[in-house]
Amino acid sequence: MLNKNIIQEKEAKLKKLAKIAWDLSLKEFYFPPLNEPRYVFDYKRKEGFYIDPNHKWEITMNLANVPPLKDDEEYIQYFHAILLHEISHYQIIPYDGIIHAKLLHAANKHVHSTHAPLVVNLFADLIIDTKLYKAKPDLMKWEIKKTFEHVAMPDFKSLSRFSKFLFNIYEKLWNIKIYESFTSPETDALANKIKKIILTDFEDDSRWEEKVSKVAYYLKDFLKEEFTIMRGAGAPLKGKSRRKIPGYELEMEIPDDVLEIIDNPLETKNSDKLKKDNEDELRKKAEEFAKNIPYSEFGAPARQSGILIDGNALATWYRGLANNLISIKIYEKKYSGTLPLYPEKWRIGDPIEELDAILTIVTSPIIIPNVTTKKWKHERGVGRVEEKRMPDLLIVLDSSGSMYWNFMEHVKNERGPYHAALVASFAILHQARMKGVKFSVINFSNHAEICEWSKNYHEAENVLLRYQGGGTQLPIKAIKKQVNKAEGNVLIFIITDFGIYNWTRSKQLLLELVQKGHKIVGFFIGSEKIPKNKFKGLLDKVSFYAIKNEKDLIHLVIKEIKKYYS
């Protein structure tokens, strides 16, 4: 009972000292909007500081794994150094989800995405600790030596190869001595390379991605040797623990001493993880990240950084490609009443209220009806233009075999006509969404996949992405049915090639819809010109474009929309 009381007293004291250190650390960062850590005593867990996804991604400080120190002041110092490091992950690097995603993407150029978090977390730790060392050299040198003594002594030989490598890098970065000898000449040379990468243009954060890619290149083989990917259940090897790999249903074996030195090196640390009700913000960041990278390089870093929340990576990627390509404003004239243009004679018989007595007297002191009496000539004028509501939007998209699709292709021009059609469709869809109008989608080949009239863009995106690869039958009944369900006039976009089998009956339907006031725009991919004979009687009522080059599709979509509504 006495031992239990002693343990409780010790834990209460450590918690109190940790709180003091937390307040000191917040003050140094000018009180950033971070919640106080959750203090725990988990004697089975090796990490001293970690993010707990089971507690709303709270910062958790495990006070069980603290090295034995001399007095209260030393404990506060130690906690202070650790907390400065951890707060820096949210204030300096990787800061937020999109920076984290970009760094993971840079690492993926040379290591598999299962190892990318290792590279990014190591790079971030080295940047953060070196910044802190420049500001507080005595504190940081003292803290790393205390950590080394706690983890490595007295049995230095049992220290893992990667942990020795870590301490060796810090020696080189800070030009200090922690231990007499850490590594072999091979890993010593590797530490020198990492040091050079980190310290070159150290303050230039625009080079972070380039540097992460270089670090990944040099560490790729070393990481494979030291960190094993585990599939299925099983106990870890002695001296190692398993941790889940972000974005995968896999685990990695990590040396326990590594967990004690740098905590979980697979963890996702950025300020977005700590925010509440930020789904829209994360969605925008995922779309921004998608804009300039191939799909094959998008999903893993977006998911691991925490910005991919929709579940459908392909839809998010296309949304990013299409984002801000189209900005449609539809205007209508609003009359401000009549405006006086010039004076003219007022004659007997004109309305008496039109007679301007002051203008008459100013013109001539003698008032002679029909001669000197005056009135103003008025004309109705336009005072302003106001944005008008878009009509409901129906996208009719051809996913037949001739509209081939290879979204995994790195070269943009090789992704196929369906890729260009999807980018255009996503751009049109999300412009309609921003205007608050309803939309419907028909994806057709051998049969019609339909998204009913809605404002739920997730449903519409899913229908757009259901590539069929069959024959080409324009879905006449489905188009007519969807138009009839609309509350008003409909703007219909048809994106296809010239492989439509049922064109005669389709032409009759389009004429019928135009006569009812609906607007139709057709884009025919892969064609040099529109055959007038085939479309006789229709071309003066609809807008049809031949799209010889798929790259021109977006440009013509924008041009057509602006032509209709400017």
Q: Is the pLDDT of residue 293 over 90?
A: yes
Percent of the chain at pLDDT > 70 equals 91
Mean of pLDDT values over 457-470: 94
Q: Which CATH architecture has domain 392-565?
A: 3-Layer(aba) Sandwich (3.40)
Arithmetic mean of pLDDT, 112-141: 97
Q: In the chain, where are the structural domains located?
A: 2-274, 332-387, 392-565
The Cα 386–Cα 391 span in angstroms is 15
Q: What pTM was estimated for this model as a whole? A: 0.81
φ, ψ at 529 (rounded to 5°): -155, 160
Least confident of 224-238, 352-366, 517-531: 352-366
Percent of the chain with pLDDT over 90: 52
Neighbours of 137 (CB within 10 A): 12
Neighbours of 27 (CB within 10 A): 9
pLDDT at 512: 92
Residues 74-103 have a mean pLDDT of 94
**What is the phi/psi pair of residue 379, to 5°?**
-140, 140
Least confident of 67-76, 80-89, 251-260, 500-509: 500-509
Residue 29: closest CA among 267, 259, 271, 261 = 271
How far apart CA 407 and CA 403 sit, in angstroms, is: 12
Contact 288, 98 (CB under 8 A): yes
Query: Model confidence over 295-331: pLDDT tens digits?
Result: 999 999 999 999 998 878 999 999 999 887 765 444 4
DSSP code of residue 245: P
Give residue 364's pLDDT. Answer: 75
281-290, 334-343, 468-477: segment of lowest average pLDDT:
334-343
Mean of all residue pLDDT scores within the chain: 87
Condensed to tens digits (0 to 9), the pLDDT of residues 371-411 reads 778 787 766 555 555 445 568 899 999 999 989 999 999 88
